Structure 1
């Protein structure tokens, strides 16, 4: 279970970064509230993105970055032949199972980041044209994850509003069991 850290704790850079990461994760999770599996798999905009596909993507991306930071080859490998599977649920996967998987990934991220003596420790990235050539810090990977979650949280907002008109604020109220408007 991810610990929700107060981002205002003075001097707790790790806690602040983890809290921002968890806040962005929450936007994606909330976008799925009250939807059927069919609705979650719908692509209502010009793109091919669905909420269930975004969910799977962000869970796998987070696991990939934390695995790299730990010096472990990421468990999920995509090739050109199956890249689209990163953005859609396949046989045996459900929104619930991917949410549970992402919960485990989030716990692993929290434990790993909390175990580090410093966020200044570095690791090398694969030799790909889209990655920096120099080693990056653990701080960098947290910022990278926050950026990734923020981007896709915005996508999730648009998709959800396109499905049933519910906005992020309405979903926060729904999550809290409060009425909106």
Structure 2
């Protein structure tokens, strides 16, 4: 197996000539590392900074993506109950709880929450790969009975991170002027 190349920001470069699984997971890890880079070294004020009229924050992104990781890889793919972090959340009362509650969390707590969610997701994805590969269907289908494959979930997660990393670029630039990709 070839060595993983790490870029100047500490992100693992996706493989340029690998199989489908390694390529998809490589792009997902690259996007995850981009979020880590965009939130690296910021204090509570930096993680709570806003741009214009938006209520989005980098801390909110960390908490939201921790929820998204758990939702897709644990709840949807494996049919597990939500992680203890999300149990007791009244999503009906505040559908944006992951975003709005982040301002009450410490930078260390937010980073740890997200990092642990990513670690769980990697392990759950590995288990699913061993049990059907990318074609493995989610244990919890959508209301219409359709179950997405692990392939769909990974591609969706790449899209989710890529979209939010664009937001992270703007938010980070507003905090300290740091820009890049």
* Same topology, TM > 0.5: yes
Aligned length in residues = 160
Aligned counterpart in structure 2 of residue 119 of structure 1, from 129, 134, 149: 134
- For residues 3-152 of structure 1, the aligned pairs below 5 Å read 7-8=15-16, 10-11=18-19, 13-67=20-74, 68-75=76-83, 76=86, 77-88=89-100, 89=102, 91=104, 93-115=105-127, 116-117=129-130, 118-123=133-138, 124-127=140-143, 134-152=146-164
Check whether the contact 2:48–2:59 (CA below 8 A) recurs between aligned residues.
yes
Q: Which has the higher contact order (CA 8 A, sep 6+)?
A: 1
| TM-score, normalised via structure 1 length | 0.78
**Structure 1 pair 84–135 and aligned structure 2 pair: CA distance change class (3 A):** closer
Aligned to 1:179: none
RMSD: 2.1
Distance 1:29 1:19 in 2: 15
Distance 1:168 1:40 in 2: 18
Check whether the contact 1:5–1:15 (CA below 8 A) recurs between aligned residues.
no
In structure 2, stretches of 5+ residues that fail to align are 1-11
Deviation at 1:104, TM superposition (A): 1.8
